[in-house]
Structure 1
Amino acid sequence: MRIFVTGSTGFVGSAVVRELLDHGHSVLGLVRSDASAHKLAKTGATVFRGDLEDLESLKSGAASCDAVIHTGFNHDFSKFAENCEKDRLAIEAMGSVLVGSNRPFIATSGIALLRADHPVVETDTVGEDTPRKASDEAVAKIAAQGVNASLMRLPPSVHGAGDHGFIPILINLAREKGFAACIGDGENHWAAVHRLDAARAYRLAIEQGALNRVYHAVDEGAIAFADIAHTISEGLGVPLKSLTMEQAKDYFTWFTHFAAIDCRASSAMTQKSLGWKPDEVGLITDMKNAGYFAA
């Protein structure tokens, strides 16, 4: 298949591109800058110049391919609500050229903001109080219009060499403050997946036609935040401290919400439906061996 991939040079998107190319697909990758275009061209994918906010470029890229994988997202959390609404528009724009074609479209969302008193499963829905619902709602909308659209939810930590997500944020905070930290006893949980396992889930979903489903790219469903903080403490050689919520707000600042979430998740339905079995190393092992603490 010829597959249009947004976020094609990002941490997740670049792994998806490599996975697709390695399995005989061709890739048309959305890029905005010359640097990204050069990086993508070296993989063997075809460069497509455009932007997530240039809806006409998104429509053109999607219309020219057999399938679409949308991993692009602006992760500037100071404009999180605004960026979620922009993602809604991007999904709706690409979906508009796929109506009635049965060409599979997989968009990306997150598990971290789902709230449940049980491990979050694929049938759970995003609450009304989170801006991230925009992506989920957009996928549901275009599916109702006749698009073969599915959603791939990613956990708080998608890890691996080159990670520039949540774990590096925590490591940089510990470097800056001189100690690693957790809130209370740190028994809240994060789910996690290796980027290469996540990429394989995207490929399997697109090859099997997506089928209007929600998928969870989750390997480890409940890693205690205390274990993450302890690994950071050891990796940097700094103390580990337990903070009250008020102290945590001063330490984590804008990241406090994510440091406090209890995000336990399951991918049992995804594993069964796709025949997907994560086989890369887990988060704690990866943190110790993938260069996370390099100066």
Structure 2
Amino acid sequence: MRVFVTGATGFVGSAVVKELIGAGHEVLGLARSAASAEALMAAGAAVHHGSLEDLESLRQGAAASEAVIHTAFIHDFSKYEENCETDRHVIEAIGAVLEGSRRPFIITSGTAVVSAERAITEDDLATATASAIPRVASEEAAAAIAARGVNASVLRLPPSVHGDGDHGFVPALINIAREKGISAYIGDGNNRWPAVHRLDAARVYRLIIEKGEGQPVFHAIGDEGVPVKDIATAIGKGLGLPVGSISPAEAAAHFGWLGIFAGLDLRGSAAKTKTWLGWKPEHVGLIEDLEKGRYF
């Protein structure tokens, strides 16, 4: 299958490209720079020049492919709402090309769009609108194009997609700990984050395009819920820093933009995804990955 991949040189997307090519698929990767194009060619993928802001380039990439995997996102949290709306426009543009076909379109979202007193499942819908939680825009767009006959599925990733090259939430926590001189957690630190290794997540993307038709939402979750206190403790050990609690009132000043996530309980289950796709995580969990020391 010829698969158009956005974000093809990113942390998750590059793993997806490798997974697809290893399974015998052809990859057409979106590249916005010469360096990205070179990385794609080195990985064995074909290059499609364009960007998320160039919707026509995305339409052309989708038209030239038998499936689309959308992993790209603009990670500028100073313009988070704007970037989430950009994602909505990207999904709508690609969806318009795929409408009326059975070509799979996998859209990336996050488990944090759902709030519950238990581990969320694939059956749980986003509990707010994009005006309240901007990232919901991606799932709203996915539902809209699915209603128009697009074979669209959402893959929710947890707050921590970890592994070599990670530049997400956990490295941000590490940098904050270095800056503040303490690896902190909020309150008792018993709130939990789900996590998944990037290589395990990449396999879910591949399996969805191969045999995931008919299911609107999938979860790529390895660890269902790692206590944030355990994450802070592993970071403190890795940096040789003290570990301690701060109050919810101190969270914004200490963690900055990450403060809203640091105190959330975001447990998630991938039980149905495992059944539907025959998938199971094969790589190390988050704490073991931190204990290896490469994050430091």
TM-score bin (small chain): over 0.9
SS at match of 2:193: strand
Q: Does 1:177 align with 2:177?
A: no
Aligned residue for 2:196? 193
1:160: which partner in 2?
163
Bigger drift between 253-262 and 5-14 goes to 253-262
Q: Is 2:206 the counterpart of 1:203? A: yes
Q: How does 1:1-295 map to 2 (within 5 A)?
A: 1-126=1-126, 127-128=128-129, 129-289=132-292, 291-293=294-296
The whole-number CA distance in structure 2 between the counterparts of 1:113 and 1:242 is 26
What is the CA-CA distance between 1:290 and the residue it aligns to? 5.6
Residues 212 and 276, structure 2, Cα contact 8 Å, conserved in 1: no
Q: Distance in 1 between matches of 2:106 and 2:157?
A: 12
Count of aligned pairs between the two proteins:
293
User: How far, CA to CA, are the matches of 2:253 and 2:2 in structure 1?
Assistant: 48
> For 2:77 and 2:264, how far apart are their aligned partners in 1?
16
User: Mean alpha-carbon deviation: is it higher for 230-239 or for 240-249?
Assistant: 240-249
Q: CA 1:106–1:290 in 2, change beyond 3 Å: closer, same or farther? A: farther
**C-alpha offsets along residues 148-179 of structure 1, whole Å, 9 cap, x if unaligned?**
00000000000001100000000000111111
CA distance in 1 between counterparts of 2:215 and 2:222 reads 22
Q: Which runs of 4+ in 1 moved over 3 A?
A: none
Distance 1:27 1:251 in 2: 42
Name structure 2 gaps, 5 residues minimum. none
State how far apart, in whole Å, the 2-side matches of 1:36 and 1:61 are.
Answer: 16
C-alpha offsets along residues 49-87 of structure 1, whole Å, 9 cap, x if unaligned?
000111100000001000000000011111111111100
CA contact (8 A) 2:121 2:270 kept: yes
Q: What is the identity, as a one-letter code, of the residue corresponding to 1:55?
A: L
Q: 1:161–1:290: 8 Å Cα contact kept in structure 2?
A: no
Residues 241-274 of structure 1: CA deviation (Å, up to 9, x unaligned)? 1101122221101110011111000001100001
Counterpart residue identity of residue 227, structure 1: D
Q: Percent identity?
A: 59
- Relative distance call for 1:6 and 1:177 in structure 2 (3 A) is same
Contact conserved, 2:238 with 2:293, CA < 8 A, in 1? no
Amino acid at match of 1:189: R
Q: Secondary structure at the match of 1:263?
A: coil
Alpha-carbon distance between aligned partners in 2 of 1:209 and 1:285, rounded to the nearest angstrom: 30
Supply the AA of the counterpart residue of 2:104. Answer: P
Letter in 1 for 2:265: D
Give 1:40 deviation, angstroms.
Answer: 1.1
1:64, 1:82 → 2: CA distance?
A: 28
TM-score by structure 2 length?
A: 0.97
- Alpha carbons of 1:290 and 1:151: their partners in 2 closer, same or farther (altered >3 Å)? farther
Stretches of structure 1 lacking an aligned partner (at least 5 in a row)? none
Q: Which amino acid aligns with 2:193?
A: W
Q: Deviations over 1:93-141 (max 9, x none)?
A: 0010111111011010000231111111111111222111110011111
Provide the secondary structure at the position in 2 that maps to 1:279. Answer: coil
Contact kept in structure 2, 1:104 and 1:211, CA below 8 Å: no
Contact map agreement 1:103 1:209 (CA 8 A) in 2: no
Moved more, 204-213 or 166-175: 204-213
Worse overlay, 146-155 or 121-130: 121-130
Letter in 1 for 2:140: E
Q: Give the aligned residue type for 1:73.
A: F
User: Does the aligned pair in 1 maintain the 2:108–2:155 contact within 8 Å?
Assistant: yes
